Amino acid sequence: MSRWLTWRHPWSRVGDLLCVLVLGACVLAAVWPGVFTSLHPLGVHPAQAFLPPQWGHLFGTDESGRDVFTRVIYGTRTSLRIGAVATAIGMSLAVVLGFVSAFAGKVSDFLASRLVEVLFAFPGLVLALLFVALAGPGVWPATIAVGLATAPGYARIIRGQALIAARSGYARQSVLLGQRPAARLWHHLLPNTLWPVLSLVTLGIGQAIVWAAALSYLGVGAVPPAPEWGAMLNAGRTYMDTAWWMTFFPGAAVVVVAAAATALGRSLQQRSRK
């Protein structure tokens, strides 16, 4: 394969290990946050507001004297869930639409493509705003809204990849060999379509968290004072010039998780090709 891979190889194990560690820690934090901190994410101490990072408050404290580190840890569950569920919703819709579009004939392709376009033609945020106006603000409506808003993007890519996979030598060979379409779909087209978009999925998790944060900025996202990275990022923006730590750490959490997930996704992808 490419020079890039050969060069990367000695490092990839260390890198992968790091990614696994980061993601493992995230899952642990999501399941059992008490392992990392003994403080309460909603513990209000007005007298200790706006403390900069220090021993005892590694990430400082927020406007109500809550420990930012503790809130980031407890926020893992909500944020990962938003990211994962929204991406799952978006992807499931996209796989169906993308495959229908790619394989179910011209008419279906036309209809599915138009459906994707209808979703596309709605700016995602507007779709989300309308949905939240219908369902009320909160984590779940925001999650579903973000899922819906991201689906058409994935659908497009999946359709493209599926067409490429269908045109590949293997696929043509399998047609020549008389393999049943379902088998071809399952053994060949699905994996060959999904592997290349795996890193998109992992990147999408970070994106979904960011979109949910935008909904918080517009006042329709996670309900306070629930610790959620996007909501924390938004709340901290108000105090950006006096208390940078309130936005820096939740922001870093989004980026680190997105990065670890993406890097791992890519590594898996590369192994599958060998």
Partner 1 sequence: MGEPLTTPVPRGGRSSAPGWRRWPVLRRLLVRLAGAVGVLWAVVTLVFFALRAVPGDPAEAIMGGPGSQASQAALDRVREEYALNRPLLVQYLLQLRRTVTGQWGDSYSLNRPVVSLIREQIGGTLLLAVLALILAWTLALLFAAWSVRSPLGARLSSGLEIAASAMPHFWLGALLIMVFSTGLGWLPAISTGSADALILPVITLAVPVAGFLGQVMRESLLNADASPFALTARAHGLSETGVLLRHTLAHAALPALSLTGWAFGSLMSGAVVVENVFARPGLGRLLMGAVLKRDMPLVTGVVLVIAIVYVLVTLIADTLEGLFLPEAAA
Partner 2 sequence: MQFSHRTFLTRALPGAAAALAAALLLSGCSGSTGTSSNSSPVRGGTLVYATGDAEPDCLDPHVGGNYPQALLSSQYLEPLVGRTSSGKIVPRLAKSWKVSSDGKTVDFTLRSGVTFTDGTALTANVVKANIEHLQNPDTKSSTGYLAVTKVSSVEAVSTHHARFHLSSPDSALLESLAQPWNAIESAKALTRSQKENCESPVGTGPFKVTSWKNQQSVTLVRNPNYRPASASYGTGVANLSKIVWRFIPDSSTRYAALKSGEVDVIDNPQPSTVASALKGGSITAVQAPRPGSSNRLELNMSKAPFNDKRVREAFVKAAVVNPGITSLFSGTVKRSYSPLSSVEPLAYSNSSLFKTSLSKARKLLDEAGWKTGSDGIRTKDGQRLTVTLPVSTNQSIPAEQSLFEQIQASVKKVGFEVKIEPLDLSSWYSALAKNAYDAVSAPYTKIGPDVLRILYASDGTVPAPSGYFANHAQIKDASLDSVLQEASTSLNTAQRNAAVKKAQQTVLNAYAILPLYDQQNNFLVGSRVHGFRIDHAVSTPSFAAAWVNR
Q: Which residues bind partner 2 (CB under 8 A)?
A: 42-44, 46-47, 49-50, 63-65, 133, 136-137, 219-220, 223-225, 235, 237-242
**Residue 142 to residues 41, 145, 146, 211, 215, Cα–Cα distance (Å):** 22, 5, 6, 9, 7
Residues numbered 224-263 forming contacts with partner 1, rule: CB under 8 A: 230, 233-234, 237, 240-241, 247, 251, 254-255, 258-259, 262-263
- Cα–Cα distance for residue pair 166/59, rounded to 1 Å: 50
**Six-digit token pair at 134?**
């219908």
- Cα–Cα distance for residue pair 138/163, rounded to 1 Å: 38
For residues 270 and 9, the answer to whether their CB atoms sit within 8 Å is: no
Amino acid at 81: R
CA-nearest of 81, 86, 62, 85 to 250 is 62
Q: Which one of the spans 67-75, 84-92, 148-156, 171-179 is the region binding partner 1 (CB under 8 A)?
A: 148-156
Minimum CB separation of residue 156 from partner 1 in Å reads: 5
Interface with partner 1 (CB under 8 A), residue from 36, 217, 226, 268? 217
Residue bearing tokens 């968290």: 209
Map residues 106-145 to x or -, x wherever contact with partner 1 holds by CB under 8 A.
x--xx--xxx-xx-xxxxxxx--xx--xx-----------
For residues 211 and 228, the answer to whether their CB atoms sit within 8 Å is: no
Residue 113's binding partner among partner 1, partner 2, none (Cβ under 5 to 8 angstroms by kind) is partner 1
Minimum CB separation of residue 250 from partner 1 in Å reads: 10
Residue 63's binding partner among partner 1, partner 2, none (Cβ under 5 to 8 angstroms by kind) is partner 2
Q: What's the count of helices (H) and strands (E) in the chain, helices before strands?
A: 10, 0
Residue 195's binding partner among partner 2, partner 1, none (Cβ under 5 to 8 angstroms by kind) is none
- CB nearer partner 2, residue 160 or residue 225: 225
